[in-house]
Amino acid sequence: MNTVNTVNTENKEHQVVNWLRMDRIPHIWCPGCGIGITVEAFVLALEKLKIKSDEICVVSGIGCTGRVAGYIKVDSFHTTHGRAIPFATGIKLANPKIKVVVISGDGDLISIGGNHFMHAARRNIDITVICVNNFIYAMTGGQVAPTTPFTAYTTTSPYGNFETASNIPQLAESAGAKYVARWTSLHARRLINSIVEAIQKPGFSVIEVVSPCPMYYSRINRLGEGINMMKFYHKNSVIKHFEPTENLNIDYQGKLIVGKFVDR
């Protein structure tokens, strides 16, 4: 009688379960939002690093991305608006042996916390900053932000944004960051590898994750749902490692340069 090899169908926990507070799952992020992808990329990077949970802590501020600290099963700090980096600096000074990672949004890190971002880079504090850039203030109603692309509509720019958007990689490099990269939430595998590199890199490291808000930014600009934005970045992202950061401005619905730009 021939025997057939069978696959073990017993339930096996996914490797991310070790790093997530499963009692808080499902998360609160909207359908089509890329923050969940960023969180998974982060915990898979921790798996690749084979780091222990007591060797790392996560800090976030206020906003959609600021909720990340509540889902990661390590020592985590949900801080006041714009103050994630000073909190992270204090943690690193108190215990230099642990890895400190800030995961927050563009409004929290580049607008309200922009001064702290600049000086942490200047001081070359040994922390990693993952900035999820959704182009607006999403949690508070979709207002225009320093990262909103020129001409894009928001709830507070009904005639289109008339200001130049902040170039996060250029800001990070010019202030002194030792590692700078940018990916979209579509580039999940590349993002994992970049997070691994950034955490291992001594000094101040920055990763921008472009992930437009499907509820406010995409809807008000009539760009479709989350899957439409993914298709757009699949078609319009150009990988250019070590491209000069002055060339990395984000134009409204234009080609988007991604890659690793600084590693010094």
Q: What is the pLDDT of residue 11?
A: 55
Q: What is the pLDDT of residue 18?
A: 84
Q: What is the pLDDT of residue 10?
A: 55
Contact 185/34 with Cβ under 8 angstroms?
yes
Q: What is the pLDDT of residue 6?
A: 46
Reply yes or no on whether the pLDDT at 157 is more than 70: yes
Reply yes or no on whether the pLDDT at 5 is more than 60: no
Please report the sign of the dihedral spanned by the C-alpha atoms of residue 114, residue 87, residue 67, residue 200: positive
d(CA 146, CA 168): 10
Contact 178/160 with Cβ under 8 angstroms?
no
Contact 96/126 with Cβ under 8 angstroms?
yes
Over residues 194-206, the mean pLDDT reads 98
Q: What is the pLDDT of residue 85?
A: 97
pLDDT, tens digit (0-9, with 9 covering 90-100), for 238-256: 999 999 999 999 999 999 9
Strand partners, 237: 256
d(CA 224, CA 181): 27
Domains and CATH numbers, the chain: 28-263 (3.40.50.970)
| Whole-number average pLDDT of the chain | 93
Q: What is the pLDDT of residue 2?
A: 47
Over residues 196-210, the mean pLDDT reads 98
Reply yes or no on whether the pLDDT at 7 is more than 60: no
- Say how far residue 45 (Cα) sits from the centre of its chain: 13
Q: Which SS3 state, helix, strand or coil, does residue 142 take?
A: coil
Over residues 196-205, the mean pLDDT reads 98
Reply yes or no on whether the pLDDT at 260 is more than 80: yes
Over residues 56-81, the mean pLDDT reads 94
How far is residue 72 from each of residues 10, 66, 208, measured CA to CA in Å? Answer: 26, 12, 19
> Which one-letter amino acid corresponds to residue 111?
S
pLDDT, tens digit (0-9, with 9 covering 90-100), for 37-50: 999 999 999 999 99
d(CA 195, CA 79): 22
Q: What is the pLDDT of residue 13?
A: 74
The upper half-sphere exposure of residue 179, i.e. CA atoms within 13 Å in the direction of its Cβ, equals 20
How far is residue 138 from each of residues 82, 88, 98, measured CA to CA in Å? Answer: 15, 23, 31
Over residues 115-134, the mean pLDDT reads 97
Q: What is the pLDDT of residue 123?
A: 96
Contact 20/58 with Cβ under 8 angstroms?
no
User: Per-residue confidence at 64, pLDDT binned at 50, 70, 90?
Assistant: very high
Q: What is the pLDDT of residue 232?
A: 95
pLDDT, tens digit (0-9, with 9 covering 90-100), for 76-86: 999 999 999 99
pTM of the model: 0.93
